[in-house]
Structure 1
Amino acid sequence: MKHLKKFSLLALAMLTAVALALPLSASADAIAGQTVVTLGKDLTGTQRDAILKEMGVDETQAKIIEVTNQEEYQYLGKYLKADVIGRHALSSAKIVLTESGKGISVKTNNISTITDSMYANAAITAGIKDADIYVTAPIRVSGTAGLTGIIKAFETATGKKIDENTKQVANEEIVRTQELAQELGDSNKAVQFINAVKQEVAQEKPQTPEEYRDIIINVSNDFNINLNEQTINQLIQFSQHFSSLNIDWDQLAQQFESLRGDIKNILNAEVTRGFFDTIFEWLGDLFSAIGDFFTSASSQK
């Protein structure tokens, strides 16, 4: 009876392991091909028409909503000065939902400082999955407000509300990654660095500011970069906010694995390997324990 109870627990563990390895199904509300466009509320009529034409969107076939300057301040006001955010909402975004497991692709136009991989990275943090994303503006803009439109479009397309704290952290990630890219002079390295920090935070589960600092310093040493004190403190704050999220790590790893286009080479190399190494290490320990159980049971006969 004792052996049977142990076996039942191991069987349950095996089912859990298999469940972790399987892709998550899409939201019941998510329909592949569904398109939602967010337009900056302060676009002129001419600019609005031009952007819809650029996106190849027929107003009768896609849901169109607006993003206001007030919403931009809501998610960026803690991290950027007012003169950086500006007074007009111009950034626009289009999301087309794809089949479950297809992952994320990102393309941009007239975006000066936020790269495709930065959008993809922050979007995944926010819980966005399986979508083609396009961000644009009628004139050259930094792109920091673009994530606000991406998230709003995804919520509308799926009918699933994203937690407000998660939105804040995803927008903070956009800002911190862009600032780091400017400091390093390398946007790809900045994205990889942020992902490495997130991975270490997830694995090490730091509890104190000092432990967060140690992670950031260790990762910076791995990347052979020197960070100024202000950047370190900002990254400590971001890491603490990130660790407070109820992240589905299996889903996160799947989205990195399923990235498409150039962003796959930038993001996938650093993060996905780490996540799946952890998962496979855990599975190895599980099956080793199962083997030990049967060996022990056999020796007691």
Structure 2
Amino acid sequence: MSIKKHLTTAGIILASLSFSSGVLAENQVQDVIDESYVQPDYVLGYSLSETQKQETLRLLGYQEGKDIDLKTLNTSSYAKIMDVADDSSLQLYSSVKIKKLGASKTLNVNIVTPKNITKVTEDMYRNAAVTLGIQHADIEVAAPIPVTGESALAGIYYSLEENGAQVSDESKGLAQEELNALSDINQENQGKEGFDADKLNVALTDIKSAVAQAGKDLSKQDVQKIVEDTLNNYNLKSSMTENQINLIVNFAVNLSNSGVINNGDFVNTLSDLKDSIVSKANGNFKGIDLNFDANKAIEQGESIWQQIVDFFKNLIG
């Protein structure tokens, strides 16, 4: 066998191993939750005073003597998780409680202090958690003072890794990118006619599903079409700026090139999340096609293009 063939074979083997390890890593997140979170795990923000800690634990339903898994996310751990410089001035107040849920249950997030989590909604946390590899769990978020709530996601990462889950940097980066995009867009469009946070969250479940089902062969133009067609379907595109749409496109492009979409349960979990959001939305989705498939538009476009190519081939030939 030639050197070239040896290298090609080795490349295929390495690619296969990489694919397998990516799938295992994402599935392993849920495996760790199922095995290690029978008792709830609590992660407190480093900046809480002693009084604030006790108040936060009370809000999260902590039972002293029964609940034993109590951690604190400090600035050093936060910096490592988020891949930023360790800065002692970082303010970490958002705290989380994570508990196992049965496999038949939908991923649940409850913000127990909604007035104090000013930027992130429950469904934004849920969307990001799915990208992280969580399929079903019960997550509660609390803060004793008004904060954005963005550091709570880092608390979830910290909890998972401390319990033995292998959360890839890629997954963490994508989940954080998604949370930042959703929360920024939602904040910028508060009170804007035609904008609806529920519809944006559902649109994102469709976008992620379409990208995952299409695989890694998508061009940026394909991803752009998936995003724009999906936002149009939910009557959101006209209320969003070009920059906001680009945030979603960039996230979707990064997702399409990642190992996250290799998780076989990813699309099913997104479908469950979508159904859950719609069922709680009090008729907000009336008249909207909830079976919309953005990939069909791409397939039709490719078919039309092929017909044009074939026409000219026949003309010349």
Gaps of 5+ in 2: 1-26, 191-195, 297-317
Of 244, 267, 275, the residue aligned with 1:231 is 244
Q: Which residue of 1 aligns with 2:200?
A: 190
| Equivalent-residue separation in structure 1 for 2:275 and 2:140 (angstroms) | 13
1:106 match: secondary structure = strand
1:125 counterpart = 2:131: yes
Of 214, 218, 231, the residue aligned with 2:229 is 218
Q: Which residue of 2 aligns with 1:4?
A: none
| Equivalent-residue separation in structure 1 for 2:203 and 2:91 (angstroms) | 32
Deviations 1:157-209 (A, max 9, x none): 4x222111101100111111112223444221221222222122223445333
Q: Which residue of 2 aligns with 1:99?
A: 102
Deviations 1:195-249 (A, max 9, x none): 2221222234453333322222222222222232222332222112111222245
Gaps of 5+ in 1: 1-23, 79-85, 279-301
Q: Which residue of 2 aligns with 1:14?
A: none
1:147–1:32 Cα change, 3 Å: closer
1:264–1:233 Cα change, 3 Å: closer
Stretch of structure 1 that moved more, 206-215 or 122-131: 206-215
Contact 1:101 1:258 in 2 (8 A): no
| Pairwise CA distance, 1:94 | 0.3
TM-score by length of 1: 0.69
Of 50, 53, 68, the residue aligned with 2:55 is 50
Q: Which residue of 2 aligns with 1:146?
A: 152
- RMSD between aligned alpha carbons? 3.5
1:58 match: secondary structure = coil
Deviations 1:125-161 (A, max 9, x none): 100132110001110111122111123223444x222
1:256–1:210 Cα change, 3 Å: closer
| Equivalent-residue separation in structure 2 for 1:249 and 1:273 (angstroms) | 22
1:241 counterpart = 2:254: yes
Contact 2:99 2:137 in 1 (8 A): yes
Contact 2:186 2:197 in 1 (8 A): yes
Contact 2:205 2:271 in 1 (8 A): no
| Pairwise CA distance, 1:111 | 1.2
| Equivalent-residue separation in structure 2 for 1:54 and 1:222 (angstroms) | 39
Contact 2:174 2:251 in 1 (8 A): yes
| Equivalent-residue separation in structure 1 for 2:167 and 2:123 (angstroms) | 21
TM-score by length of 2: 0.66
2:175 match: secondary structure = helix
1:183–1:223 Cα change, 3 Å: farther
| Count of paired positions | 246
